[in-house]
């Protein structure tokens, strides 16, 4: 269970809908998807600012920010990006990440020492709140992720929905790796530590606990319902999204999740769209806006030293009208893609 807690903590900093390790086997669902559905997903991403790409540079006068969109779990395909980023990190005034080693440590400690953060000991249990069929599917999915039914029944819905987005094979891989994910974020941090480049967090360690604090009971359950279908084919889902990431099709990851929920969640399209807006606002847009000040302030300070900064965070934070790149552009920064 300890490694499941660590995985959930990492998933909460992450914005991808799934995870995969080198030991995970699955099929890219785009290869078997009907062409009309592929076309609808492709149409949905058109017009989204900065929808493609993982590596960018933002400049304004003498201020420079090198930004890399990360995938939070291990994959051998990270190696070329690590090699490319090494000199940038070595020469940077600081590396900015969602959560540095201190923040991740404090978050994991909080999850393990304060059960009330993830366990509702007084309210109705999940089997009481869900239908019998829903509970049976959920309890099996969570059991596959190391959480017995008796524990799952009392978990808070936000925690459950995050765990459903993590493939069981990833949790197994983390268990064999002492809870380390091997994701690009951690590899960037290791490079910064080796180069004695300061590491700065973009947000406080406890930010995640406020993301879902005011959801209604119905919204909480709908989060689980939206995440539950994909849990049954988590390896395929994860491979699909991970391949899209390494192809640089960043916003395609988000729209794939939407269309999958249309087809498999049991929620009507309007409810799926409402869930997607809620998730995008809470997990991405609001946080993106909060990150602009530390990034621009850091770049200004670094410029006084004749340096730039590096920012590494979940790839889904890059694109969109409220994505970090577009927000920087609105601040007068010129954006250049570097992995085209």
Q: How far apart are CA 317 and CA 299, in angstroms?
A: 18
Copy the structure tokens of residue 286: 């609001």
H/E stretch holding 329 reads helix 324-330
Q: Is the dihedral of CA 159, 145, 225, 48 positive or negative?
A: positive
Q: What are phi and psi of 127, to 5 degrees?
A: -65, -25
Say what the pLDDT of residue 178 is. Answer: 52
Say what the pLDDT of residue 223 is. Answer: 86
For 39-77, what is the HEC assignment? Answer: HHHHHHHCCCCCCCCCEEEEEECCEEEEEEEECCECCHH
Say what the pLDDT of residue 295 is. Answer: 98
- b or e along 142-168 (b: 16 or more beta carbons within 10 Å of the residue's beta carbon)? bebbbbeeebbbbbbbbbbbbbbbbbb
Q: How far apart are CA 276 and CA 253, in angstroms?
A: 13
Q: Distance of CA 186 to CAs 56, 115, 189, 263, Å?
A: 19, 26, 5, 35
pLDDT, averaged in runs of 10, over the chain (340 residues) = 48 40 73 92 95 97 97 90 98 96 88 87 94 94 91 92 82 61 88 98 90 86 86 84 93 91 87 89 94 98 98 96 98 95
DSSP annotation of 286:
H
Say what the pLDDT of residue 96 is. Answer: 98
Say what the pLDDT of residue 182 is. Answer: 76
The answer to whether residues 174 and 181 touch, using CB atoms and an 8 Å cutoff, is yes
Say what the pLDDT of residue 17 is. Answer: 34
pTM beyond cutoff 0.75: yes
Say what the pLDDT of residue 267 is. Answer: 85
Say what the pLDDT of residue 174 is. Answer: 66
Say what the pLDDT of residue 15 is. Answer: 35
Q: How far apart are CA 195 and CA 184, in angstroms?
A: 16
């Amino acid at each position: 269970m300890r490694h499941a807690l660590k995985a959930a903590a990492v998933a909460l900093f992450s914005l991808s809908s799934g995870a995969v390790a080198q030991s995970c086997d699955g099929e890219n669902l785009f290869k078997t998807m009907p062409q009309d559905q592929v076309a609808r997903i492709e149409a949905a991403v058109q017009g989204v600012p900065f929808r493609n790409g993982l590596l960018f540079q933002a400049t304004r006068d003498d201020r420079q920010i090198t930004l890399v969109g990360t995938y939070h779990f291990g994959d051998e395909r990270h190696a070329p990006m690590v090699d490319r980023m090494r000199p940038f990190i070595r020469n940077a005034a600081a590396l900015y990440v969602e959560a540095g080693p201190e923040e991740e440590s404090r978050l994991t400690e909080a999850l393990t020492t304060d059960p009330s953060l993830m366990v509702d000991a007084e309210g109705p249990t999940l089997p009481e709140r869900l239908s019998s069929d829903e509970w049976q599917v959920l309890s099996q999915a969570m059991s596959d992720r190391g959480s017995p039914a008796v524990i799952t029944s009392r978990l808070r819905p936000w925690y459950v929905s995050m765990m459903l987005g993590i493939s069981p094979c990833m949790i197994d891989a983390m268990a064999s790796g002492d809870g380390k994910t091997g994701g690009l974020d951690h590899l960037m941090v290791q490079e910064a530590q080796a180069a004695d480049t300061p590491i700065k967090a973009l947000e406080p360690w406890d930010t995640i606990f406020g993301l879902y604090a005011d959801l209604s009971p119905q919204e909480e359950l709908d989060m689980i319902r939206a995440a539950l279908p994909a849990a049954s084919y988590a390896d395929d889902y994860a491979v699909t999204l991970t391949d899209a990431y390494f192809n640089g099709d960043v916003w395609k990851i988000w729209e794939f999740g939407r269309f999958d929920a249309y087809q498999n969640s049991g929620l009507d399209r309007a409810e799926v769209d409402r869930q997607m807006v809620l998730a995008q606002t809470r997990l991405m847009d609001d946080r993106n806006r909060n990150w602009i000040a530390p990034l621009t302030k850091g770049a200004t300070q670094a410029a006084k030293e004749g340096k730039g900064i590096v920012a590494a965070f979940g790839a889904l934070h890059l694109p969109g009208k409220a994505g970090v790149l577009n927000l920087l552009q609105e601040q007068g920064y010129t954006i250049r893609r570097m992995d085209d």
